[in-house]
């Protein structure tokens, strides 16, 4: 029901309650049984075992698992009892599953944080008596009492309110406290942020007190609707996950086709079923880059460590890569692009705008600070201001003018106060001024001005003529057009402290304030636009304020448009998709609107990052490709729904994170390029030998060693390459653009053919070129060493598109150590007899080692020659 459309009496009657006496205990108990407790539902978590088992649904993992079973059965049937190969393959399958769980084990604590925000207790009228009960036991129809400092325990319709102000920024995105009015009634299409006769669960009462009737509890509250959105919204797969999934599936299908062909070819040649099976297993193991998931995870982890030093904490590893591909940043305004702190930015008197630190401004701000209930708190050398944001802004501005502001109340003691009310739209105090009493008034400019008979003009007071009145209103209009919140200040000297009627006032001036943009935000926006990223503001604030801030930051330009949540409701999904490309500001939006906007951008193929700090941002943070929450000022709900937390609450940090993300994406691409090239080389070596009628040049355990040891360290070292200098001058990687675009597949295939060719050549030399010493084992040993060293050399080749003498031979220390370690470990497998027995190899003489070294360096030499010839194109 639209409770804001009903009067307090109508709402209470509809809920079968009584304004004075509330519900009786019996009715309340029955409603609690019927509707459940006033708390948010928890989502059933997937168990660790379920997550682990789900990893085995991956196509490549299934192939490896089948290869493991075939290898085990073959060893059993042959009676060799040599289960090293199936055990190693099984360990690889389990390791991949563990890595998958690690990547997916993202803590879903958003709903728990929402529950913690709920008020623990509530003051309620039951059967005519005021009592404290747990907030969870509140039911619809309960009459609740709230005062300053209380957290609202449920959604409720106000019955009475006295100078009530509620902080709703975390729910609605509006930075200013919301003044409430129990007597107001609104239309059904009025958005939650404008329902002044309603209070909402998990918001906080800043000033005043009220009586209200509970209208919604638990998951039916506004914050409960957000909980529904969080529970229903699934985090999208990142571009990297999608691309790697496609790669894995393509490799798996290709491996199955080749395996089937080789198996049939073996049967036709009457090679026997078991040998044909084992050859197929070798091909399956060769085709699948077993170390790829682990290497990508490790490269991402290294990137996460570097990003943490730049104040960006990554909660979800693939988010690093997603940052680099981001094309749209949807940013909340309050606390993200702005400081979430009302600040006086303009002061005007009759003559026009005046200096914020001059004597005229100081006098005006002093009066505004006396008619003020905020206070300054000193902690060591640091001074902070506590109270209503509008009032703290005035007091803070006065403190900048006069360092003795702490003595203000002592020097001019307050004798009387008339609190602010939504009806009068102003506040008044009576203070003692050097033995005289002075009435000071601040409030809405039009209301204050109507109570004035004079105006300060220079050092004197002159009567307010119609022309002067219009001049002051024009000043007010100019300030309002800049989205400033304008407060008027006036005064008159009284005969006594009992004379506090707001009449015959002397108008002093206008104080304009706004939640200002962060100083570094404009530069960050400019860098984003230069990098091909579109910044978009999404806020619950008024459209005038939103547009003013967006224009200052450079988000809203001449070709951009701004729309409100009400306009958004009138658009169909197709219409929204049609216009969203030009929209730069969305104002007065609800959490549902934010999710819809994010989804509309994603539907157009954009990679969307959403930044925010409030409860209202959480569903959109989760729906976006990457959610970025603020670490200092952000709510727990936003942090737990996000992929990345900015620990300094600085929008500019996201620019650094994007740069890091792009660098990491480049490095991952190099690692994938390297690994797939080497895997194709292994496939071609085994496949070509089969077509030529030879035994497999490499057995499964040797292929596993190459894929997991001599490939992995160099691939990880590729992940440490420095970010290229021009990376933020490039456009983002297009989501529709394939991972292997720009001829990358051709490069990978040619490199694989070259690696496969030198491996087969080494195998044939070992089998036939050493007379009596030649044998299948020698051929396999030489092939094993050649492909291992060849791939190590190829990793060096993959470091940069520039020749090594330009990129720097030893500029990547991690690669230098990876080469040394991998070469030493590979040599030890041949030299150390127990290891040689496990891997089915024999020791080599000097000539054989020289041949292996020469063949292994062929791809590096050819690659460097190609770079030198074509480097001018780079």
Question: Roughly how many angstroms between the first and final C-alpha of the chain, as a whole number?
Answer: 65
CA distance 627 to 622: 6
In whole angstroms, what separates CA 130 from the centre of its chain?
Answer: 44
Burial of 188 (0-12, 13-18, 19+ CB in 10 A): exposed
Structure tokens at 338: 């702005």
Burial of 132 (0-12, 13-18, 19+ CB in 10 A): exposed
Q: How many CB atoms lie within 10 A of CB 559?
A: 7
Phi, psi of 178 (to 5 degrees): -100, 120
Angle at 92 between CA 791 and CA 856, to 5 degrees: 10
Tell me which H or E stretch contains 392: helix 389-401
Tell me which H or E stretch contains 121: strand 121-126
**Catalytic choice (58, 332, 625, 666):** 332
Q: Is residue 606 within 8 Å of 734, Cβ to Cβ?
A: no
The number of C-alpha atoms within 13 Å of 763 and in the hemisphere containing its C-beta is 24
CA distance 240 to 323: 11
332 noted as active-site residue: yes
User: Largest Cα–Cα distance in the chain?
Assistant: 124
CA distance 572 to 205: 37
Of how many residues is the chain composed? 874
Tell me which H or E stretch contains 366: helix 359-370
CA distance 834 to 253: 36
Q: Which of 415, 398, 569, 416 is nearest to 487 (CA)?
A: 398
Q: Is residue 508 within 8 Å of 364, Cβ to Cβ?
A: yes
CA distance 630 to 742: 37
Separation in Å, CA 408 to CA 112, 376, 403, 412, 545: 45, 11, 10, 6, 32
Positions of E strands within 419-495:
426-433, 436-443, 452-457, 460-463, 485-494
CA distance 779 to 762: 7
Structure tokens at 725: 């200098």
In whole angstroms, what separates CA 22 from the centre of its chain?
Answer: 44
Q: How many CB atoms lie within 10 A of CB 850?
A: 11
CA distance 550 to 731: 23
Separation in Å, CA 786 to CA 19, 525, 762, 851: 88, 51, 7, 9
Phi, psi of 134 (to 5 degrees): -60, 140
Phi, psi of 207 (to 5 degrees): -150, 155
Separation in Å, CA 593 to CA 114, 535, 563, 870: 20, 17, 12, 51
Q: Is residue 242 within 8 Å of 233, Cβ to Cβ?
A: no
In the three-class reduction of DSSP (H, G, I as helix; E, B as strand; rest coil), residue 468 is classed as helix
In whole angstroms, what separates CA 6 from the centre of its chain?
Answer: 39
Active-site residue set: 332
């Amino acid at each position: 029901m639209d409770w804001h459309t009903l009067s307090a009496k109508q709402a209470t009657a509809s809920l079968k309650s009584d304004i004075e006496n509330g519900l009786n205990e019996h009715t309340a108990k029955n409603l609690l049984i019927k509707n459940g407790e006033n708390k948010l539902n928890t989502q059933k978590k997937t168990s660790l075992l379920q997550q682990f088992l789900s990893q085995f649904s991956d196509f490549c993992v299934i192939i490896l698992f089948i290869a493991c079973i075939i290898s085990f059965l073959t060893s059993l049937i042959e009676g060799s009892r040599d289960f090293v190969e199936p055990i190693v393959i099984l360990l690889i399958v389990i390791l991949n599953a563990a890595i998958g769980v690690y990547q997916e084990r993202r803590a879903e604590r958003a709903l728990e944080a929402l529950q913690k925000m709920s008020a623990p207790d509530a003051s309620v009228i039951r059967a005519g008596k005021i009592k404290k009960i747990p907030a969870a036991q509140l039911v619809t129809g309960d009459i609740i009492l709230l005062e300053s400092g209380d957290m609202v325990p449920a959604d409720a319709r106000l019955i009475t309110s006295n100078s009530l102000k509620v902080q709703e920024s975390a729910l609605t995105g509006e930075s200013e406290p919301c003044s409430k009015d129990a007597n107001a009634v609104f239309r059904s299409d009025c958005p939650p942020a404008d329902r002044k006769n309603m209070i909402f669960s998990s918001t906080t009462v800043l000033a005043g007190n009220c009586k209200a009737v509970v209208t919604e509890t638990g998951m039916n509250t506004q914050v409960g609707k957000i909980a529904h959105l969080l529970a229903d919204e699934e985090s999208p797969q990142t571009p990297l996950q999608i691309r790697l999934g496609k790669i894995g599936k393509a490799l798996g299908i290709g491996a199955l086709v080749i395996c089937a062909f080789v198996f049939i070819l073996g049967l036709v040649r009457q090679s026997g079923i078991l040998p044909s099976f084992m050859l197929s297993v070798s091909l399956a193991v060769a085709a699948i880059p077993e170390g790829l998931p682990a290497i990508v995870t490790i490269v991402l982890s290294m990137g996460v460590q570097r990003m943490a030093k730049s104040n960006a904490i990554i909660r979800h590893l693939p988010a690093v890569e997603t940052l680099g591909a981001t094309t749209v940043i949807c940013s909340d305004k309050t606390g993200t692009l702005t400081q979430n702190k009302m600040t006086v930015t303009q002061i005007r008197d009759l003559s026009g705008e005046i200096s914020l630190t001059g004597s005229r401004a100081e006098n005006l701000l002093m009066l505004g600070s006396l008619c003020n209930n905020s206070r300054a708190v000193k902690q060591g050398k640091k001074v902070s201001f506590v109270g209503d944001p509008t009032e703290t802004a005035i007091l803070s501005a006065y403190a900048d003018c006069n360092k003795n502001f702490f003595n203000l109340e002592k020097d001019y003691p307050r004798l009387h106060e008339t609190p602010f009310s939504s009806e009068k739209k102003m506040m008044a105090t009576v203070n003692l001024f050097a033995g005289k009493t002075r009435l000071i008034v601040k409030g809405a400019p039009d209301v204050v001005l109507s109570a004035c008979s004079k105006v300060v003009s220079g050092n004197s007071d002159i009567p307010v003529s119609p022309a002067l009145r219009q001049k002051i209103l024009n000043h007010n209009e100019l300030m309002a057009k800049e989205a400033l919140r304008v407060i008027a200040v006036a005064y008159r000297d009284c005969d006594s402290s009992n004379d506090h009627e707001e009449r015959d006032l002397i108008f002093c001036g206008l104080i304009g304030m706004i939640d200002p943009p962060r100083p570094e935000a404009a530069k960050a926006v400019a860098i984003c636009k230069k990098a091909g990223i579109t910044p978009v503001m999404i806020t619950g604030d008024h459209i005038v304020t939103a547009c003013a801030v967006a224009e200052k930051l450079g988000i809203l330009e001449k070709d951009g448009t701004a729309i409100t949540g009400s306009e958004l409701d009138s658009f169909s999904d197709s219409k929204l998709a049609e216009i969203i490309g030009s929209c730069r500001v969305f104002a007065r939006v609800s959490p549902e609107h934010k999710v819809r906007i994010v989804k509309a951008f994603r539907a157009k193929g954009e990679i969307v990052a959403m930044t925010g700090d409030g409860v209202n941002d959480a569903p959109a943070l989760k729906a976006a490709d990457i959610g970025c929450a603020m670490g200092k000022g952000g709510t727990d709900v936003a942090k737990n729904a996000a992929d990345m937390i900015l620990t300094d609450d600085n929008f500019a940090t996201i620019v650094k994170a994007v740069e890091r993300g792009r660098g990491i994406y480049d490095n991952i691409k190099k690692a994938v390029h390297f690994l797939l090239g080497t895997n194709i080389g292994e496939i071609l070596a085994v496949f070509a030998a089969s077509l030529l009628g030879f035994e497999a040049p490499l057995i499964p355990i040797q292929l596993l060693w190459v894929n997991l040891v001599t490939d992995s360290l160099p691939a990880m070292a590729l992940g440490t390459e420095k970010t290229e200098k021009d990376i933020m001058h490039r456009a983002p990687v297009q989501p529709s653009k394939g991972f292997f675009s720009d001829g990358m597949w051709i490069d990978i295939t040619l490199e694989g053919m070259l690696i496969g060719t030198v491996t087969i050549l080494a195998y044939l030399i070992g089998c036939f070129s050493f007379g009596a010493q030649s044998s299948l084992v020698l051929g396999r040993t030489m092939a094993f060493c050649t492909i291992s060293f060849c791939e190590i050399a190829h990793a060096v080749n993959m470091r940069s598109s520039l020749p090594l003498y330009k990129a720097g031979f030893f500029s990547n220390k991690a690669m230098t150590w990876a080469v040394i370690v991998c070469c030493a470990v590979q040599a030890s497998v041949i030299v150390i007899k127990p290891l040689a027995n496990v891997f089915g190899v024999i020791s080599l003489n000097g000539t054989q080692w020289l041949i292996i070294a020469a063949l292994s360096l062929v791809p590096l030499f050819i690659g460097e020659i190609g770079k030198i010839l074509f480097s001018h194109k780079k």
